[in-house]
Structures are given as C-alpha cells and as structure tokens.
Amino acid sequence: MTTPEQLPPPHRPRPSAPWQVVARREVMAKLTDRTFVVSTLVSVLIIGVIVGIQVVLAQRTTTETIAVTDDRAAAVVAGVDAAAQEMPVLGGRTRYETVRVASDAAARTLVADDDADAYLAVGPDGWTLLGRSAPAATTQLFLGQVIADQTMADNAARAGTSLETLRQGTDLQVETLDGARSGLATGVGFAFALLFYMSALTFGIQIATSVVEEKQSRIVEILATAIPVRQLLYGKVLGNTALAVGQMVLYTGLGLVGLSFSNYAGIVSSLAGSVAWFLVFFLAGFAALACVWAASGAMASRNEDIGATSGPLMWVTMIAFFAALFVPDGLWQQLLSYVPVVSSILMPMRLADGNATWWEPVIALLVTLAFGVAMVRLGERLYRNSLYHTSGKLSLRQAFAGTDQV
C-alpha cells in the first residue's frame, strides 16, 4: 500500500516571471480599451478604403479610339496599346483601338463628331495627332516613343543596319552630387516615416500616461511591494512594444496586400524586403525609446507634466520624421542612416531605393541595438529614481542624480 509520503508531488504550473505578468496586463488592458480598439479599427478602415480604391482603379479600363487611314498608323496604335499594358498607371489601364477610315476628311469628321478620340496621320514632315482637345499626357508619351522606335527601325533597315546598332552609345546614366531619390523611394520613405512617427509618439505617450496614472493612484506602491521595479518597467515596455509592433505588422501587411491588387503589383516583391527591415528597425528603435518614455512618465506627477518631461523624446521622434523626408540623398543620407532612431526610417528607405548593400542594414541595426542597451539603462535609472516622487515634476538632472528607491 502506498503511503502519503510515497505519492508524487502534485503538478503545479510554473509561475510566470513578474515582467511577463506585467506585459500580459499591459496587452490585455489595451486590447480591452475602447479608445485603442476604435483607433486601430479606424486606421485599418482608412487603409482598407485606400486598398479598395486601388483595387477598383486597377480593374478600370478606359478605351481611346484613334482614327487611322493606313497600315503604318494602325501599327503605331497597336504598339501604343502594347506599351500601355506594360506600364502601371494609377488611374487604371487604357486600351487603344483603331478605327479605319478611307480618307483624311472622314477621319477629321469622326473626331469632330466625338466618334473618335483622335486622328493619327503620317505625312512628308512626320506624324500628326489631331483631337478636339489636347490628348492625355500618357497618350502623347506612348505615341512619341513608339513612333520614334518604328521610324528608327525603318530607317535602319533602309540603311542596311539594325536598330540596336543605331542605339549603341545612346544610354544615359544619371548621377547627381546632391542625389535625387526615386519616386518609389520617396513614397516608401514617407510611408515609413509617417508610420514610425505616429506609432512611436502614440505608444510612447501611452506608456508615460500609464506610469503617471499608477503614481497618482498609488497603485505603483502596491505593485512595487510584490514586483521589483526593474521587472515592472520591463514588463510595461515589452507589453507596449509588442502592441506597437503588432499594429505595424497589420498596417504594412494591409499596404502590401493593397499593392498586390493594384497596377503596382510588380513591385510588391521588391518592397517586401525593405518592409521586413523596417519592422526589425522599428522594433529596435521603439524599444530603445520605450524605457525613456516610461521614465518621462515617472518624472511627472500628473498628466499635465508629461509634455514637459517628454519634450526631448518628442524632438527625437520629429527629427527622425523630418530627416527621412527632407535630408537629400547622397552622403548625408548615408551617414544619417546609421544614426539610431533615424536609421529606423532611412535605412529601409535606402534599401527600397536599391542604394544600400546587404551589410549596411546589419551594421546600422547593431548600432541601434547598442544604443538601445544604453537607453534601457538610462531609462531604468530615471524610472527607479523618479517613481515614488509625487510632489511635482522632476528635471532630468534631478532624476538622474536621485537615489535608487528599490
């Protein structure tokens, strides 16, 4: 017979580390907070509307009818139609169709009666495009390119050579001293900068506000008797960081999905890498600032003081935002892409533009991580020295020089 002493001890679940409890509490508090949920859903709705508009525009096809009187003009219109299907246009695609007429007068009558959008004719001095009003810029661009290619090909054949031979040495490579980022990099950089700025500022202020509210209600004194202050800080920071990164994954994922259904689906694969790097840099950059945001809340005694204690952090976030938008390409952009926080926007933007090698984001990320370690130590010191101070806000010097409480 088995005695009670011989029975195996009952299985007890291993208790979570204190910081895990705090982090879970932060996450659940935000996920059940109506304001947070509504603001997230509104942001998702805005992105969804933009995605929907892109999908609708991508499916829209307009038709331009061009009157012609001979085979050469018909071949040009066919070439324009082929070129238009290969180039993405924000407002959808345009198909170009020909209507064959017997004479110049008949073609002009069609245009005058709005039965054709334009009339394309070739004469001794070149080509003419006639319309009731000025043709669309894209139509003129496509026509000019196709006419130039076909005319050069005909001239090359008559001269006993080839179009490729005639084009040798005509390639133009653009280099600039100040730099001029591509349209893709500009758009991606603006999106990265806006997402980083809004998320870092929103969650940073939420962290600071949460700390102040716990100080005002004296809850922090109860928590600190059961949880070391360091664990309390880490849990608060990690919980909010997880929420911020989760939001960022949601927003960028929706953006990529939207692009995949638009006329720019071909660039999604090239953007995926820079978006992944942006998420990694966002995680490192936000985590580096989160502890200092918590410390700025600890330095305040009421919500009205947060603006004063968090001023330097707001400036850092604003500098990162404007640096991504207004720093010219070239040497300055390369140097700033290694500066922590600013690198969270500039380095992924350089990757999207294709002017950064594989090792550059690795070096910039290591620098950001080292900066993050220093900021965590600084934030922890400020947080511990300020947490129990309730008689007015502390200055940075006072908080840094204070005596550890726990």
Same domain, 106 and 187: no
Q: What is the pLDDT of residue 362?
A: 94
Does residue 172 surpass a pLDDT of 60? no
Same domain, 138 and 41: no
Sheet holding 93-100, edge to edge: 93-100, 61-68, 118-123, 126-130
Handedness of CA 318, 322, 324, 327 (dihedral sign): negative
Between 16 and 53, residue with greater pLDDT: 53
Same domain, 371 and 249: yes
Does residue 335 surpass a pLDDT of 80? yes
Same domain, 315 and 238: yes
- 174 falls within a domain: no
Same domain, 240 and 301: yes
Same domain, 267 and 317: yes
Does residue 129 surpass a pLDDT of 80? yes
**pLDDT average, residue stretch 107-132:** 85
- 224 falls within a domain: yes
Q: What is the pLDDT of residue 96?
A: 87
Strand, helix or coil for residue 217 = coil
The band of 171, judged by pLDDT with boundaries at 50, 70 and 90, is low
Domain boundary among 160, 195, 230: 160
- 7 falls within a domain: no
- 262 falls within a domain: yes
- 324 falls within a domain: yes
Q: Which amino acid is residue 25, in one-letter code?
A: R
Is 212 exposed, middle or buried (CB count within 10 Å of its CB: 0-12, 13-18, 19+)? buried
The band of 366, judged by pLDDT with boundaries at 50, 70 and 90, is very high
Between 75 and 391, residue with greater pLDDT: 75
Q: Tell me the H-state helices in 261-358.
A: 268-299, 306-309, 311-326, 331-336, 343-353
Supply φ then ψ for residue 216, to 5 degrees. -65, -40
pLDDT above 70 coverage of the chain, percent: 84
Same domain, 37 and 93: no
Q: What is the pLDDT of residue 363?
A: 95
Residue with tokens 């580096």: 288
Other Cβ atoms within 10 Å of 316 Cβ, number:
18
Between 393 and 70, residue with greater pLDDT: 70
Same domain, 100 and 126: yes
pLDDT digits (tens, 9 = 90+) for 261-307: 766 676 777 788 889 999 999 999 898 888 889 888 888 888 888 88
**pLDDT average, residue stretch 196-225:** 85
The band of 187, judged by pLDDT with boundaries at 50, 70 and 90, is confident
Domain boundary among 108, 125, 160: 160
Residue with tokens 């090909």: 153
Give the number of domains in the chain: 2
CB 88 within 8 A of CB 34: no
- 54 falls within a domain: no
- Spell out a b/e string for 12-27, using b for 16 or more CB atoms within 10 Å of the CB, else e: eeeeeebbebbbeebb
Highest mean pLDDT among 101-115, 316-330, 386-400: 101-115
Provide the domain limits for residue 155.
61-160
Residue with tokens 């705090």: 22
Does residue 185 surpass a pLDDT of 80? no
Show the CA angle centred on residue 26, arms to residues 22 and 31, nearest 5°: 145
- 125 falls within a domain: yes
Same domain, 193 and 325: yes
Q: 99 forms bridges with which residues in the sheet?
A: 67
Between 395 and 350, residue with greater pLDDT: 350
Handedness of CA 302, 383, 221, 199 (dihedral sign): positive
Look over the chain and give the mean of its residue pLDDT values, rounded to a whole number. 81
The band of 92, judged by pLDDT with boundaries at 50, 70 and 90, is low
Pairing of strands 61-68, 118-123: parallel
CA atoms within 13 A on the CB side of 302: 3
**pLDDT average, residue stretch 192-208:** 90
| DSSP secondary structure string for all residues of 344-397 | HHHHHHHHHHT-S-THHHHHHHHHHHHHHHHHHHHHHHHHHHHTT--SSPPPHH
Q: What is the pLDDT of residue 365?
A: 94
Q: What is the pTM of this model?
A: 0.69
Cα 285 to Cα 104, 282, 301, 356, 375: the distances in Å are 67, 5, 27, 19, 10
- CATH assignment at residue 151: 3.40.190.10
Q: What is the pLDDT of residue 77?
A: 86
Does residue 384 surpass a pLDDT of 50? yes
Domain boundary among 114, 131, 160: 160
pLDDT above 90 coverage of the chain, percent: 13
Q: What is the pLDDT of residue 246?
A: 93
Q: Lowest mean pLDDT: which of 41-50, 213-222, 305-314?
A: 213-222
Same domain, 43 and 68: no
Q: Which amino acid is residue 177, in one-letter code?
A: L
- 388 falls within a domain: yes
Same domain, 339 and 382: yes
The band of 322, judged by pLDDT with boundaries at 50, 70 and 90, is confident
Does residue 367 surpass a pLDDT of 80? yes
Q: What is the pLDDT of residue 402?
A: 66
Cα 58 to Cα 45, 65, 258, 259, 308: the distances in Å are 19, 20, 11, 10, 48
Same domain, 245 and 379: yes
Between 179 and 194, residue with greater pLDDT: 194
